[in-house]
Structure 1
Amino acid sequence: MARNGVAGVLGGFARAVSMSFSPFMALGAAGVVWGGFAAMVPALKAQTGASDAQFGLALLGSASGGMIAMYLAPYLLALFRHHTLPILTLCSALVVQGPRFASEPWHLFPVMIGMGLALASLDICANLRISRIESDTGGHLMNINHANFSFFLAVSAILVGLLRQAGWGTAQVFTLIGCVLLVFALLLRDGHWEDAPEDGEEEDRPRHLPWAAILPVGVMIFVAFVGENSIESWSALFLERELGGATGDGGFGPAMLGFIMCVFRLLGQVTTQRFGEARVVLFSGILGVIGALTLSQAPDRSVALLGIALMAVGMAVIVPTATSLLGKRVHRRALNVAVSRAWMIGFTGFFVGPSLIGSISEAYGLRVAFLMVAATIALIVPAVWLFERGKSVRD
């Protein structure tokens, strides 16, 4: 009986991957870049001589590029259609070479703008495709696709950490990452593309976007990005500098985040169907708060990794599940724009997250910065309440 249950779950995973293979691999490509980048943060700070505040400011470049990408994503999909994800992966392979040429703190800002623009475009366009396939099929695909992002982020972070220990520098690491992305680009063929809408859909299209649903979902995504990217961007430095880890050990922070988020996003593929998306998002946020508090008070690396693990469990399913919530609430003809606008709101987590942590760390240290992350994640509670209240009013 148990064997049949496991076989059924694995079969469901396989069907979900088959239905969304192109965006599945696109998110994997994005994970390769951000995992490798996270593990290289200590090396990039040393290479450029940037302080915590300067590095946090540079991360605003990624957020700025990402905000532009959020706005342009629906138009990119309409223009390039099934070629969108391969083109954006090739662009990402090019811009990821930028960090190897950064030698001064101010060089990081334009480099991060390019990375943010290319990779956020790849990320959001993949999510728009997943949301559209979900709308067409009625299935839940977000969590397993985001699990692939987390898996490749973790693998990339741990391998790059090992390469750093072996003496590899930024030029060698980012060249390798670019080559890996070229391989991914060859795999991104979207076989589920539809050019024409169904007859009679246009007359049912809503005249206005459902902002009562978009805004709370935007806050949910914002909270998740703050928590997730604070670990991606700063945990390596926290482990090596604050807790005295050896060179390369910092890669265990983002790797821990990625592996655990991968596992729990796979579990989220099942739990959201059983408990409901809103309830899963709420309890995930509460667990994320506990993890951030644990990390802020960690006396050694083992407790810090426990805090990162709790945050990873909490943050794992918020973005994909919240995106699915919105996709099920809005008309399919407004879906791409509605999701991209929610992601524009959520993507400001890149501003308030890693950048604010840099400023707070400069003045008070990374422990206080992670306390602020915990307070921010707590916003998930009113966001879920507002979304469910809007649903009740509409019903």
Structure 2
Amino acid sequence: MTQPTHDEALEMTDTPDESGTSARTPKRGRTPRGLAAWRNAVFAIFFLSGLSMASWVARLPAVRDFTELSTQGVGLVILGMSVGSIIGLVVAPIFLARLGARAGMIAMLLLVSVGLVLIGIGGSLVPSVATIVVGLAFFGFGNGAVDVMMNVEGAEAEREIGKTLMPLMHAFFSFGTVAGAVLAAGAAGLGLPVLAHLGIIAGLIAIAVVIAVRFVPRRAELGDPKEHGAPKPPWRERLRASLSVWADARLLLIGAIMLSMSFAEGSANDWITLAAVDGHGFDATTGALVFSVFTVSMTVSRVLGGPLLDRFGRVPVLRVLSVTAVVGISMFIFGTEPWVIVVGTALWAVGCSLGFPVGMSAAADDPVNSAARVSAVAIIGYFAFLAGPPLIGFLGEHFGLLNALLVILALTAVAGILAPAARERSRS
């Protein structure tokens, strides 16, 4: 009997379980140790992306004060990141087809590191909005592209291991945001300049990504070269297959769920600190602590999310979380007591915590073009994640930040209505 090739080892077989439904089991060829190393490498990539994001967001008030930007000015600066990120999302399938996931993730996180350094230069060394915008464009482009790539890798690893892992993978993004927020608070407390702080973070990211991708397996369908010099499909053929999935109506509904929840999460990441300070009158330190409550609550929810999804199913969980988000955002907007605002922040985070990872898993249910399907919904979700904050800034300038958050409240309610689109194939 011949041994399976490297790429065959990464394929999945469907075997009936005792109830007659199809259960995912990995084919022979990849050892448990190899699967664990692959999973952990994806965890690391998610962590680094979250670390970079929180490091920038937590120093936003300092950058704003140094450059004397208005609220609308902050929104326009963030727009530079959003434009770069959207471009990164759109071209990510091309990078996957041309470079493969391994080289692509290295290149994009190195670009993120360059962006962080430029933000530090313009935000603390020489006041330069133009330099900050260029840095945010690099930062956004790199994070936008790597977000697609790491979710494609994460969904495939989840499929092969056969357990719900996407919430935990996104928890590692949240671990990164928690670490970034804590380190940023420490840097601010010590009076460390923004450039020094972001420069150190940039160096850590650059070194860590080169180490982590060594444990990501090569997959010819994503453009990685096969072992032993075997040929791979032409990149245009891979790109064509990636684009064809946009005609799937159910996939677009899954993307709409992710769009709603990503809007809620992304807007919180960029605006919740300023909303607490400018909208509720908290001082800068308390505002940073509110952001920490959000990131910690998001992390805990994602750590616990996998077992809950396996136990109750995607649709009931998404509906409960939609209601939770609506309640939490309402408490944050309309609350007057500090404890109400803090509890609302925690519920806001819990409510929008699983929408994105559940969408990733739902998109990967269909083994045909699973990488292309995951890439498509990731683009939809991250588009909202990135386009939402500038919209909140625009609305906040004209109607106040707290009133602008009403848009998020409505979108999280829509996610609950669309929840059946994410139902597991075996439960359909």
TM-score bracket for this pair, using the shorter chain length: 0.7 to 0.9
Match of 1:289 in 2: 326
Q: Deviation per CA, 1:255-312: give whole Å up to 9, x if none.
A: 2222111111111111111111232222212211111111101224332221110011
Does the alignment pair 1:30 with 2:49?
A: yes
For 1:382 and 1:259, locate their aligned partners in 2 and report how far apart those are by CA, in whole Å: 27
CA contact (8 A) 2:258 2:359 kept: yes
Match of 1:48 in 2: 67
State the shift of 1:376 in Å.
1.9
- Letter in structure 1 aligned against 2:88: A
For 2:362 and 2:148, locate their aligned partners in 1 and report how far apart those are by CA, in whole Å: 16
State the shift of 1:16 in Å.
7.9
- Letter in structure 2 aligned against 1:138: G
Does the alignment pair 1:344 with 2:379?
A: yes
Unaligned runs of 5+ in 1: 1-13
Match of 1:160 in 2: 184
Match of 2:94 in 1: 75
Q: Deviation per CA, 1:43-86: give whole Å up to 9, x if none.
A: 12112222112211222222222222222223323333333323
Does the alignment pair 1:96 with 2:116?
A: yes
For 1:18 and 1:269, locate their aligned partners in 2 and report how far apart those are by CA, in whole Å: 19
For 2:387 and 2:346, locate their aligned partners in 1 and report how far apart those are by CA, in whole Å: 22
Match of 1:6 in 2: none
Distance change (3 Å), C-alpha of 1:160 and 1:307: same
Match of 2:308 in 1: 271
Paired residue for 1:169, among 171, 177, 193?
193
TM-score, structure 2 normalization: 0.79
Flag the structure with larger Rg.
2
Q: Deviation per CA, 1:11-67: give whole Å up to 9, x if none.
A: xxx998644122210110011111111211111211222211221122222222222
Match of 2:229 in 1: none
Q: Residues 366-377 of structure 1: matches in 2 within 5 Å?
A: 366-377=401-412
Deviates more, 1:52-61 or 1:74-83: 74-83
Does the alignment pair 1:252 with 2:294?
A: no
For 1:369 and 1:42, locate their aligned partners in 2 and report how far apart those are by CA, in whole Å: 19
State the shift of 1:375 in Å.
1.2
Does the alignment pair 1:221 with 2:258?
A: yes
For 2:70 and 2:34, locate their aligned partners in 1 and report how far apart those are by CA, in whole Å: 47
Does the alignment pair 1:112 with 2:136?
A: yes
Distance change (3 Å), C-alpha of 1:277 and 1:387: closer
Distance change (3 Å), C-alpha of 1:301 and 1:18: farther
Paired residue for 1:262, among 284, 299, 309?
299
- Letter in structure 2 aligned against 1:277: R
- Letter in structure 2 aligned against 1:184: A
Distance change (3 Å), C-alpha of 1:78 and 1:243: same
Distance change (3 Å), C-alpha of 1:106 and 1:379: farther
Q: Deviation per CA, 1:222-266: give whole Å up to 9, x if none.
A: 112211111111111122333333333322233222211111111
State the shift of 1:119 in Å.
1.2
Q: Provide the aligned length of Structure 1 versus Structure 2.
A: 374
Does the alignment pair 1:326 with 2:345?
A: no
- Letter in structure 1 aligned against 2:75: G
For 1:196 and 1:182, locate their aligned partners in 2 and report how far apart those are by CA, in whole Å: 25
Deviates more, 1:317-326 or 1:74-83: 74-83
- Letter in structure 2 aligned against 1:22: A
For 1:94 and 1:207, locate their aligned partners in 2 and report how far apart those are by CA, in whole Å: 30
CA contact (8 A) 1:17 1:144 kept: no
CA contact (8 A) 1:93 1:179 kept: yes
State the shift of 1:215 in Å.
0.9
SS in 2 for 1:331: coil
State the shift of 1:346 in Å.
2.0
CA contact (8 A) 1:27 1:122 kept: no
CA contact (8 A) 1:268 1:317 kept: yes
- Letter in structure 2 aligned against 1:359: F
CA contact (8 A) 1:63 1:347 kept: no
SS in 2 for 1:253: helix
Percent of pairs with identical residues: 23
Does the alignment pair 1:303 with 2:340?
A: yes
CA contact (8 A) 2:151 2:378 kept: no
Paired residue for 1:140, among 164, 176, 192?
164
- Letter in structure 1 aligned against 2:403: V
For 2:243 and 2:349, locate their aligned partners in 1 and report how far apart those are by CA, in whole Å: 39
For 2:291 and 2:325, locate their aligned partners in 1 and report how far apart those are by CA, in whole Å: 15
Match of 2:211 in 1: 187
State the shift of 1:351 in Å.
5.2
CA contact (8 A) 1:236 1:253 kept: yes
For 2:409 and 2:34, locate their aligned partners in 1 and report how far apart those are by CA, in whole Å: 36
Match of 2:415 in 1: 380
CA contact (8 A) 1:295 1:370 kept: no
State the shift of 1:170 in Å.
1.6
State the shift of 1:106 in Å.
5.1
CA contact (8 A) 2:358 2:422 kept: no
Deviates more, 1:246-255 or 1:260-269: 246-255
For 1:190 and 1:38, locate their aligned partners in 2 and report how far apart those are by CA, in whole Å: 29
SS in 1 for 2:213: coil
- Letter in structure 2 aligned against 1:21: N
State the shift of 1:121 in Å.
1.6
Q: Deviation per CA, 1:108-145: give whole Å up to 9, x if none.
A: 43332211101122222111101122233433221111
Match of 1:126 in 2: 150
CA contact (8 A) 1:220 1:318 kept: yes
